[in-house]
Structure 1
Amino acid sequence: MLRKLLWILLISFPLFAILCASFSEENPTDRRVLVLLDDFAIKSSHSLYFKSLESRGFDLDFKLAGDPKLALQRYGQYLYDAAILFCPTVERFGGSIHVASLLDFVDSGHDLIIAADASGSELIRDIAVECGVDFDEDPAAFVIDHTSYAVSETEGDHTLIASDDLIQSEVILGSKKIEAPVLFKGIGHSINPANNLVLKVLSASPAAYSANPNSKLSSPPTLTGSAISLVSVVQARNNARVLISGSLSMFSNWFFRSGVQKAGSTTKYEKCGNEQFLTELSKWVFHERGHLKAVNVRHHKVGEVDEPSIYRIKDDLDYSVEVYEWSGTSWEPYVADDLQVQFYMMSPYVLKTLSTDHKGRYYTSFKVPDVYGVFQFKVEYQRLGYTSLSLSKQIPVRPFRHNEYERFIPAAYPYYGASFSMVMFDIGFRE
């Protein structure tokens, strides 16, 4: 019996260790990442990118995309907290992984990186479509640009794009400016302008278009100009993040180490911006930046410290909350001037911008409106690049009791005077 128990413990311990290493709100970067590859050669050809992740504490598990033992979860628990799909040609995943399971993976709050290519399979395209991105329908299409290409020995190859049209967001790309253009060779995609969950982080120039470079154009290209996105990101409503690139090559060691000179420019950079761009972007995708948490939500009457179970109309109250941002290694105070609280019942009766002490604490005071019912303190905070905050606390508000009204209402003094004058007049008349 003892031997059987020890055997069960030995078998279950590795699984227990895997499940314990999952994503934690208190330590967002302590996570396991599944990396699916078309070929193990990609592990070597893209080693600089993988090493940058491992150096920041990520545990990468490399698997072939067709491995029959693949699984995202076991016994109802996810084994990984993020996935990287560097398998643009895969026609079918192995094991229990498929399009629906990957979408469930994202719907459960996990992050995803997808690298497609001009030879991208329908499987990868289907996943991208579900994330709000449409790749060019032509499987042989490349993004071509005759004005913003990278100068090289092969002057006729204008599919090697040198783009510097980056999203202007420090939270997504970091505070250090990316000086050198980013090299890109692959397929372009479009996003729906009405979809505010998808953002273009690297765009093509107005002169770019998507077509097969080995054949003459028989009809106008479907993707043209700045509408072509080279790299996009998605932040879902559950704060899961997805990176979609039309090029696997841009993650490679060769691109990371390449110098670049943009056509029409006399400036030649010894190193292109790919390494800085993709490293900083991965920090955002894996929640090392732009990840907020709110703690210590408090409210009470002015002059008190305990949270009441009910308020009375016209009470003066204090409200406060602490907001912090994950810096990659620790939680730092988040400082902003646009955080607001609503005192809400069907519609906001009070809307106040919160003041901050620049140490993470936000606070305000206001008077409970002269309306009784069930109210909510609501904080709905959405800002580009940051995880959204949605806080609510329900509290009832009662009217005055019969013995809490003022004995004499100042606004009624004229009526009181009129009543007394009529009484005095009546007394005088009788006399």
Structure 2
Amino acid sequence: MRKLFIIFIALISIQITLTNSFSPDNPTDRRILVLVDELALKSSHSVFFDSLQSRGFAIDFKLADDPTISLQRYGQYLYDGLILFSPTTERFGGSLDLAGVLEFVDSGHDLIVAADATASDLIRNTAAECGVDFDEDPSAMVIDHSSYAISESEGDHTLIASDDFIQSDVILGGTKIEAPVLFRGIGHSLNAANSLVLKVLSASPSAYSANTKSKLSNPPSLLGSAISLVSVVQARNNARIMITGSLSMFSNRLLKAGVQKAGSSDKYGKSGNEQFVTELSKWVFHERGHLKAVNVGHHKVGETDEPAMYRINDDLEYSVEMYEWSGKSWEPYVANDVQVQFFLMSPYVLKTLSTDQKGLYYTSFKVPDVYGVFQFKVEYQKLGYTGLSLSKQIPVRPFRHNEYERFITTAFPYYGASFSTMAGFFIFSILYLYHK
């Protein structure tokens, strides 16, 4: 009996531990699977991986063709993020394939894909499914004869120094990246049909994509600022994806290298790569820009309990609390563009919510003079932030027969007509009966 009790307590402890480890209240307490072509990448890219581990992520390294690879077990996903640092892989090991990767993203999980000039069809197809098209020429690389990084041997100018970043503090952090980012790899374009994909790092207007070992016989398919070096996607289910054509961009060598951009006298002792990939990975893995809404409520003015229904022309108050994950704790989210709709087929009321700067958003309004089943709706979509979709349904009824005013001011003409008709009929009857 004592042994059974000990086993029971142990099972409860394990269950509590698992629940806390994967609690949705802590979006950064996560496990990440990293697939690599060779395990030596753990050392050559250790600075990036150490940054993730220092922020609390548990990283599991596996060769991309490992036959034991599995993203889920018994219908539950084992990982919350997937990093593909395996550009040459033609086929994943185990039960993982392209459909499995896409299903992983469709389930709300995050993905980082890094390719290079040796990118296989598998990696290219994965990127294409996410709205990114790499150059069709498998030997093409991004070349820039104006914005290349100065080195002892200038070479073919495929080592680019780019500082054309997206202007978004939530994606790249509030601290400006001063030094250019070193990039050597393949460029890509964005699928015009996909409105969810964004360029985070662009090439300069003088860049082009071509094979460095052959002469140009035709105009390059990718030119200038249309070339994206790093792109991100935030799916409608709030899964986040980062895609780049340079695996070396994450390497210790480029993270620690000094940089001087051609045509500039500014020399930097360290490239912007480490700050760039660190801040961007924080966004991808929801350490920034992750919102949640709690305590959604509404009630009549002067009351505190939420009613089962409202009556037309009632005065009501609506409130919601919104918080943003800072990487360590939930902090109040402060904005002036959060709106609520009181919706029946179309919005009858659209109000911008006021805030107390501590996470609480609120407003008050009068129920419209229309009855039916309404919804309180908050649809909040902002660049770089997870989307919020909140709705609460509530019936609105008309006045009961005993709730109307006894005499309505606007009906006085009708009252006058009725009483004048009765008076006229009475006078007519008297005259008709008693007057000859």
**Within 5 Å, which residues of 2 pair with 1:8-23?**
20=19, 23=22
Give deviations 1:251-282, integer Å, cap 9, x for gaps: 00000010110010011111110000000000
**Residue matched to 2:325:** 326
Provide the aligned length of Structure 1 versus Structure 2.
Answer: 430
Name the structure 2 match of 1:381: 380
Q: What does residue 80 of structure 2 align with?
A: 81
* Aligned residue number for residue 134 of structure 1: 133
Preserved CA contact (<8 Å) 1:19 1:78: no
Shift, 1:401, TM fit: 1.1
CA RMSD across the alignment: 2.4
| 1:193 Cα deviation after fit | 3.4
Q: Using the alignment, how far apart are the partners of 1:115 and 1:281 within structure 2?
A: 13
Gaps of 5+ in 1: none
1:341-380 to 2 correspondence within 5 Å? Answer: 341-380=340-379
Match of 1:27, SS state, is: coil
SS of structure 1 residue aligned to 2:379 = strand
Gaps of 5+ in 2: 432-436
**TM-score relative to the length of structure 1:** 0.95
Asked whether the equivalents of residues 21 and 32 of structure 1 are also in contact (C-alpha less than 8 Å), the reply is no
Matching residue of 2:267:
268
3-state SS of 1:416 partner: helix
CA distance in 2, matches of 1:50, 1:3: 42
Instruction: Encode CA deviations 1:187-241: one digit per residue, 9 max, x unaligned.
Output: 0000023422101000001111100011101111111111100000010000000
Q: Which amino acid aligns with 2:207?
A: A
The aligned residue for residue 286 of structure 1 is: 285
Over residues 321-374 of structure 1, what are the superposed CA-to-partner deviations in whole Å (9 max), with x where a residue is unaligned?
000000000000001111011111111111111111111010111111111111
The 3 A distance-change label for structure 1 pair 343 and 396 is: same
Change over 3 Å in CA distance of 1:294–1:211 after alignment to 2: same
Change (3 A) 1:365 1:14: closer
**Other-structure match for 2:228:** 229
**Cα separation, 2, equivalents of 1:115 and 1:6:** 48
Deviation for aligned residue 1:4: 12
- Kindly indicate whether the alpha-carbon contact (under 8 Å) linking 1:33 and 1:61 is maintained by their aligned counterparts in 2: yes
What is the aligned partner in structure 1 of residue 166 from structure 2? Answer: 167
TM-score, scaled relative to structure 2: 0.94
SS of the equivalent of 2:83 reads strand
Alpha carbons of 1:163 and 1:416: their partners in 2 closer, same or farther (altered >3 Å)?
Answer: same
Question: Where in structure 2 are the equivalents of 1:189-268 lying within 5 Å?
Answer: 189-268=188-267
Quote the residue 1:151 is aligned against.
150
Deviation at 1:5, TM superposition (A): 13
Instruction: Measure, in 1, the Cα distance between the counterparts of 2:228 and 2:20.
Output: 35
Classify 1:49/1:13 alpha carbon distance in 2 versus 1 (closer, same or farther; 3 Å): farther
Q: How far apart, in 2, do the equivalents of 1:104 and 1:420 lie?
A: 75
Q: Secondary structure at the match of 1:362?
A: strand
Quote the Cα distance in structure 1 between the aligned partners of 2:162 and 2:5: 60
Aligned to 2:413: 414
Q: Is the 8 A contact 1:380 1:389 kept in 2?
A: yes
Q: Counterpart of 1:387 in structure 2: which amino acid? A: T
Inter-partner Cα distance in structure 2 for 1:306 and 1:5: 44
Query: Distance in 2 between the 1:62 and 1:21 partners?
Result: 23
Report the 3-state secondary structure (helix = DSSP H, G, I; strand = E; otherwise coil) of the residue aligned with 1:176: coil
